[in-house]
Structure 1
């Protein structure tokens, strides 16, 4: 990532260029990213290609001021952190689904980040409602965060008897299992393709656009249902009808900073 691209990305986040890759900087960038760059899967339902290429991700997230899902958001955030002097490792994960079943390989992408002053951290700006700040990598205790109580735990042996993976839990529930082997962004192309094309993928079955709000709550537009959740958990909801496309486009524009020419729709109309 070139210097001018780093500066443009930081402007997108509303952040100044840091002097050193410290924990305080990582925490600030992590939270700013969650506030400024939505977690969204609109490209899948707008017929846009999901391209795991740094240049095209910059064009989408920084140039077009869009969001994305884990491969795009964590992939590009990792490149930014690397350019700022952090030591970044891309990790593959599998998300826990119904009845505790793990998803497909390369189901999720997260980041292991080493700072200049405070060890290693799990950074994840691409999982939707997750921790607002990075989690201490070596800490196996509960870690309090505005997004909930999180824990990184040693996972048991897998089906092949292998050990060494980690489970990430939120409020006592397993969210995803992480491998600790370093990966490249290109390794996730198959996972991105599956999630953007398979009828079994949650991303092909529904629309989502979500971000952390400035007060620490969350705003989500799921299809035509707008949910605004306060930090204390109270929620306001509104459903937009089929004749309110302009109102839906205004929500994307005014609440998420996303300019669309048409309202995206799930293929089956849901």
Structure 2
């Protein structure tokens, strides 16, 4: 866990309090990318705590929700936080994703219950109060958590539903079937897209196949990368990801 803290550039908290939790979440978002490269590199995603931590810390990779929030949960528990795995269904506009579509974290400390999520791409930079039903301003937007009629919680960003969150505690094994579906189904947005994205101090960097998108405030710059070497360098320089070969993008056979 000391190596994990070093990986994200965070100091070990003296006590597991809210201030430290805010810093840990932000440092994680700034250093560990949201990416689905393993699916397009032919690497199986294994929902085992040791494997998840090794991928983030030793291999210096990122991942998607099961991997990022799964590994972060291990770190937080080692630091003394009370962490519960929660299942969510991501919003697809008029529909919701399948059960166990998303993994998020509930973290409890003396100040109350918090929603912690380092695995949803463009989301809140800081933890959100799970028991608060009013607007929660964040650098990532204005968030609100609303109760549903069946006991779930709707998580909204700027008035738009991001995902519907269950409150029942879950185990990592509960997410294995849907994780496998996301890796293999032609209906999964992870098999249909190739993405690597990371929060920066001034905005966000995203590499979608060979399209590099850099946002700074309201300014957006796009650049198409033309060679394999240029693309591999972009993974290294913008996301800290060292690859020996490119992932094969959907619809293209020449990785």
**TM-score category of the 2 structures, normalised to the smaller one:** over 0.9
**Following the alignment from structure 2 to structure 1, what is the Cα–Cα distance between the partners of residues 164 and 57?**
30
* 1:222-251: CA deviation from partner (whole Å, max 9, x where unpaired): 111111111x2221111113xx11000000
Of the candidates 230, 238, 243, which is equivalent to residue 223 of structure 2?
A: 238
Unaligned runs of 5+ in 2: none
* 1:194-221: CA deviation from partner (whole Å, max 9, x where unpaired): 1111000000001110011023x11100
- Aligned match of 2:144: 151
Of the candidates 11, 17, 23, which is equivalent to residue 16 of structure 1?
A: 11
> How many residue pairs align between the two structures?
253
- Deviation of 1:186 (Å): 1.2
Of the candidates 213, 220, 225, which is equivalent to residue 211 of structure 2?
A: 225
CA RMSD of aligned residues (A): 1.0
Contact between 2:65 and 2:104, CA under 8 Å: does it hold in 1?
A: yes
- Aligned match of 1:255: 238
Q: How do residues 145-224 of structure 1 correspond to structure 2 at under 5 angstroms?
A: 145-156=138-149, 163-215=150-202, 217-224=203-210
Q: TM-score, normalised by structure 1?
A: 0.92
- Aligned match of 1:78: 73
Of the candidates 44, 47, 69, which is equivalent to residue 49 of structure 1?
A: 44
- Deviation of 1:47 (Å): 0.1
Of the candidates 87, 104, 109, which is equivalent to residue 110 of structure 1?
A: 104
* 1:168-197: CA deviation from partner (whole Å, max 9, x where unpaired): 001100010010000011111111101111
**Following the alignment from structure 1 to structure 2, what is the Cα–Cα distance between the partners of residues 145 and 207?**
28
Contact between 2:136 and 2:142, CA under 8 Å: does it hold in 1?
A: yes
- Deviation of 1:267 (Å): 3.7
2:119 match: secondary structure: coil
- Aligned match of 2:248: 265
* 1:77-112: CA deviation from partner (whole Å, max 9, x where unpaired): 0111111111111000001113x2011110000000
Q: TM-score, normalised by structure 2?
A: 0.97
- Deviation of 1:266 (Å): 2.1
- Deviation of 1:16 (Å): 1.1
Q: Are 1:91 and 2:74 counterparts?
A: no
Unaligned runs of 5+ in 1: 1-5, 157-162
